[in-house]
Amino acid sequence: MSVRLVSAPINIVFSKVDADKEAYLREYQYLSESEDDSINQWLKLARAKGETNDTDPVLLNLIVELHKKIDALERFLKNEEPKKLSLMYEIPIESIGFEHFKLSQDILEEGAEYYGRVEMPVRPRRDVCIFFTAIDKSLAKITKIHERENREWAAYLTARERVLIREARESKE
């Protein structure tokens, strides 16, 4: 099996999916829906109604991001951060592809299903929740990921490819 992967300096926290798959599914849904907060819902509705047509998009995005930061600060001060499940392993990811990734250590059980959170180095920093199946001891195939998070994953992969191409060109010069 040939899988194209690109080196990526990110980490994953994960556990094997056993009897408690429901808890993992609840967290998967909860964490992905927490991104659809009130300001995002308002913005989507305003855009759908055409109320943002005369607004500077950069300024609008800046105000929305500031609002999100204030909401995050408020949640932190009130100790309302989302409770995350405790997962067994925390390991660096060596490389990623559009549907696959390779861990830096051989600890997966071939054919087993896992649930994990990947902290994506995008703005704002957030966890991408995924379900994946081990192809071998270190290679995994993503089996479940939300659509928006899949776009972020693909965008990060593309950005990493660009960085590596740029580094290769610079090393030849």
Q: Which CATH class is domain 6-34+84-172?
A: mainly beta
* Averaged pLDDT of the chain: 86
Local confidence band at 124 (pLDDT 50, 70, 90 cut-offs): low
Summarised one tens digit per residue, pLDDT across range 134-145 is 999 999 999 999
Local confidence band at 82 (pLDDT 50, 70, 90 cut-offs): low
Q: What is the spatial distance between Cα 140 and Cα 55, in angstroms, rounded to a whole number? A: 44
Which pTM was predicted? 0.75
Domain chopping of the chain, boundaries: 6-34+84-172, 38-77
Summarised one tens digit per residue, pLDDT across range 150-169 is 988 998 899 999 998 998 88
φ and ψ of 104, to 5 deg: -80, -10
From start to end of the chain, where are the E strands? 6-16, 89-96, 100-103, 113-120, 126-134, 139-144
Local confidence band at 127 (pLDDT 50, 70, 90 cut-offs): confident
pLDDT at res. 37: 65
Summarised one tens digit per residue, pLDDT across range 25-42 is 988 888 776 555 677 777
pLDDT at res. 36: 56
pLDDT at res. 66: 87
Amino acid type, 111:
G
Contact, 14 vs 117, CB < 8 A?
Answer: yes
